[in-house]
Amino acid sequence: MRLRNKVAIITGAAQGIGLATALKFAEEGATVILCDLRFEAVDAAVEQCHQLGATAVGYAINVTDRAQFDNVVEEVRQKFGRIDVLVNNAGITRDARLQKMTIEQFDEVIDVNLRAVFHCTQAVSHVMLEQGSGVILNASSVVGIYGNFGQTNYAASKFGVVGFTKTWSRELGPKGIRVNAVAPGFIDTPILATIPDKLIDAMREDVPLRRLGSPAEVANVYAFLASDDASYIHGAVIEVSGGLTV
C-alpha cells in the first residue's frame, strides 16, 4: 500500500472527488482526516473509510474559518504526531456572466476556492516544515488554465491555485515539501447535477475520449502524487481531462 503510515488531511471530503480521494487513500493505507461542512455526510464518509480498514477521523468545519482549521491541524498533530499530506479539494461554483455576477457570488467562490487554500496550506505547512517533509496537493481545473464562459469567479480562483502551486513549490521544495496541482476536466460529480442533459451530452462530445471522467480517476492521480512514487514530481499542474484541451 503506497500511503501506509502517512497522515492525510482532505478538504471537501464528503462527496465527489474529495470522497473518492479519501476512499482511495484509505485503500492505500493512509490515516485519513476528512473535512467537510455537514456532520452527517462527514460521518458517513468516515464510516466508509473504516469499512476499508483505515484509521479515519472526520471534522465538520467550514474551511473558510481559519480558527476552525487551525484547531483541526493541532488536534491531528497531537493525536498522530505528524501530517504528511494535505489535499486542498474543497470548492464551489456560483456561475454567471460577467455583467450579471453579483459581488456575493464572486466573493463566495474566492473565499472557498482560493482564500481557504491559502489558510489551510499555511496552517499545515508549519507542521510539515518542523518534520522536514510533506506533500501539498491543490485542486485547480482546466478552467483555471483556459477560462470558461460564465465562470469569472471560478476561473480566477483556479488560476490563483496554479499561482499558489508554482510559488509554494519554490518556497517549500528546498525544505522537503512537494507541491503539485491537479486540473480536472469534466468529472461526473454532484456539481454537474444542475446542468441540463443536453449540455452534458455536448460536454461529452468535446472530450476526445467521449465521456466524462469519474471521481475515482482523479483520486488515483492524487494518490500517486501523494506517494513516494511521485518523489520527483514538483511544481506540476497535471490535467485529468480525457484530452479535453488537446
Q: In the prediction, which pLDDT does 197 show?
A: 83
The residue range of the domain holding 13 is 7-240
148: domain CATH number is 3.40.50.720
Residue 89: pLDDT over 80: yes
When divided into structural domains, the chain yields a total of 1
Query: Is residue 2, in this structure, part of any structural domain at all?
Result: no
The predicted model gives 155-183 an average pLDDT of 98
Query: Is residue 246, in this structure, part of any structural domain at all?
Result: no
Query: Is residue 65, in this structure, part of any structural domain at all?
Result: yes
The residues assigned a catalytic role are: 154
Query: Is residue 19, in this structure, part of any structural domain at all?
Result: yes
Query: Is residue 107, in this structure, part of any structural domain at all?
Result: yes
Query: Is residue 115, in this structure, part of any structural domain at all?
Result: yes
Lowest mean pLDDT among 51-55, 163-167, 185-189, 216-220: 185-189
Report helix, strand or coil for 87: strand
Q: What is the pTM of this model?
A: 0.96
Query: Is residue 194, in this structure, part of any structural domain at all?
Result: yes
Query: Is residue 224, in this structure, part of any structural domain at all?
Result: yes
Q: In the prediction, which pLDDT does 215 show?
A: 97
Residue 233: pLDDT over 80: yes
Q: In the prediction, which pLDDT does 246 show?
A: 83
- Residue 113 φ then ψ, to 5°: -85, -20
Regarding beta strands 56-60 and 31-36, do their DSSP bridges make them parallel or antiparallel, or are they unpaired? parallel
C-alpha–C-alpha distance, residues 130 and 152, integer Å? 38
